[in-house]
Amino acid sequence: MKHGNKLGINSRLIHAGEFENPLGSATVPIYQTSTFIFENADHGAKCFSGEDDGYIYTRIGNPTIHALETLVADLESGTDGIATSSGMAAVNTIYMALLSRGDHMISSAAVYGPSRVVMEQHWSRFGVESTYVNTASLDEIKAAIKPNTKMLYVETPANPTMDITDLRACAELAHANNMVLVVDNTFCSPYLQRPLEMGADVVFHSMTKFLNGHADIVAGIILTRDKSLGARLRSMMVTLGCNMDPHQAYMVIRGIKTLGIRIERSQLSAAKVAVYLENHPKVAWVRYPGLPSHPQHELASKQMSGYGSMISFELKGGFEAGKILMDNVKLAILAVSLGGVETLIQHPASMTHSKVSAEAKKKAGITDGLVRYSVGIEDVDDLISDLEQGLALV
Ligand code: LCS
């Protein structure tokens, strides 16, 4: 990084990240290779021993992927970035690297469905215990701590309830109790929230969402601010083989360049859509961190630099009414995922969170009627007209 950390975030989105550039290319080249040539046998041995930092094999490291890893590490104020094939690959790399048989983790009850389901259904088979609480309440977290608790895992804002967890307070609590704080920062991206700066030990993203931003790539990344923790996580990713592909890395680097302008535009529209929905007579409630009615609006204002573009709401007619709306919007796309330039609408209870048990969904506040809306960068008047015509049919 030739400019250091002094540049503003919009400049760093475009110029941060390290890559070797012998030909002076203006963008990061795609090193589409599985393996790298050694100068001689001694050089090969030195690359493997770590004496030489030359590239060996793309699962272990690749210049295009390295450019992305150093770029996102810079944006998140981390020392290490470890790119993964998907957000779920990042989740499982973290669980496997940092939890062992007999360990216990505490997680936000409202998290992306599979992040919870993989722990409850699979990591439990290897002797890892987990408890799910409302991490917006420090008392609930404290009550769940056991002698073998090693990890506090939070998603904020949470998918899909938009609950906000106090990251600074969680970091303090985790460190006082010998736990690592892991934060899923997917809903914010480093543009709006940087958990490592607030004391988190590990941050990760589904880069499928805001960072890439164009609904054409599935990708993940893990960030830390501790070199030895970074080395443990990298070694696990390499061993599991859930590395990114160089072309995928190139696409995400390309998407990140416009992260700032995409977020600024979509969150401006989200604020207007949230107010429109809150004032609509057929809407029961709206959860958007920027609305004063959000229970943690003040906390959101303290730890996020903007309120993002994710909205959850429920219609007075519950699930049946939500279904009519989802089937009748014409501009918003009925699809899972989020954080892209296109507006998406989906039903968490039957889609993204369908594998979470009914009881767990209830406890986490994922009601049957909850509709999730990811605001893109279309004209906001068109989005509101689209909702208006859909709501008229409810
Ligand atoms: N964390 C969060 C907060 C997510 O929203 C997702 C995916 C993941 C992790 C997993 O990332 P992936 O492997 O898909 O890259 N969320 C999705 C969603 O809400 N709809 O479809 C996928």
Residue segments in the chain with a per-residue pLDDT below the cut of 70? 1-5
Instruction: Taking the CA atoms of 278, 279, 283 and 284 in sequence, report the sign of the dihedral they define.
Output: positive
Task: Phi first, then psi: give them for residue 257, nearest 5 degrees.
Answer: -55, -30
DSSP output for 81-136: EEEESSHHHHHHHHHHHH--TT-EEEEESSS-HHHHHHHHHTGGGGT-EEEEE-TT
Whether 202 and 350 share a structural domain? no
- pLDDT for the residue numbered 6: 81
Q: Closest Cα to residue 138, out of 107, 178, 110, 165?
A: 165
pTM of the model: 0.97
Nearest CA, atom 16, ligand 1: 337
Whether 359 and 379 share a structural domain? yes
Is-contact 214 187, C-beta < 8 A?
no
Whether 189 and 232 share a structural domain? yes
Whether 134 and 196 share a structural domain? yes
Q: What is the pLDDT of residues 143-194, one digit of tens each?
A: 999 999 999 999 999 999 999 999 999 999 999 999 999 999 999 999 999 9
Q: Which residues line ligand 1 (CB under 6 A)?
A: 86-88, 112, 115, 155, 159, 184, 186, 206, 208, 218, 220, 336-338, 352
Residue 308's domain is classified under what CATH number?
3.90.1150.10
DSSP E strand boundaries for 179-228: 180-184, 202-206, 220-224
| CA neighbours closer than 13 Å in the CB half-sphere of residue 80 | 16
Q: What is the pLDDT of residues 293-311, one digit of tens each?
A: 999 999 999 999 999 999 9
Structural domains counted in the chain: 2
Whether 212 and 183 share a structural domain? yes
The domain boundary, picked from 234, 256, 278, lies at 256
- pLDDT for the residue numbered 20: 87
Pocket test for ligand 1, best of 206, 342, 354 (most atoms within 8 A of CB): 206
- pLDDT for the residue numbered 199: 98
How far, in Å, CA of 311 to CA of 216, rounded? 22
Domain that holds residue 176: 9-30+61-256
CA of 337 to the centre of ligand 1 (A): 6
3-state helix vs strand vs coil in the chain, percent to 5:
40, 15, 45
- pLDDT for the residue numbered 372: 97
Whether 247 and 320 share a structural domain? no
Nearest CA, atom 11, ligand 1: 87
Task: Phi first, then psi: give them for residue 372, nearest 5 degrees.
Answer: -110, 135
Whether 380 and 242 share a structural domain? no
Whether 128 and 242 share a structural domain? yes
Nearest CA, atom 12, ligand 1: 87
Is-contact 170 154, C-beta < 8 A?
yes
In a domain, 50, yes or no: no
Nearest CA, atom 21, ligand 1: 337
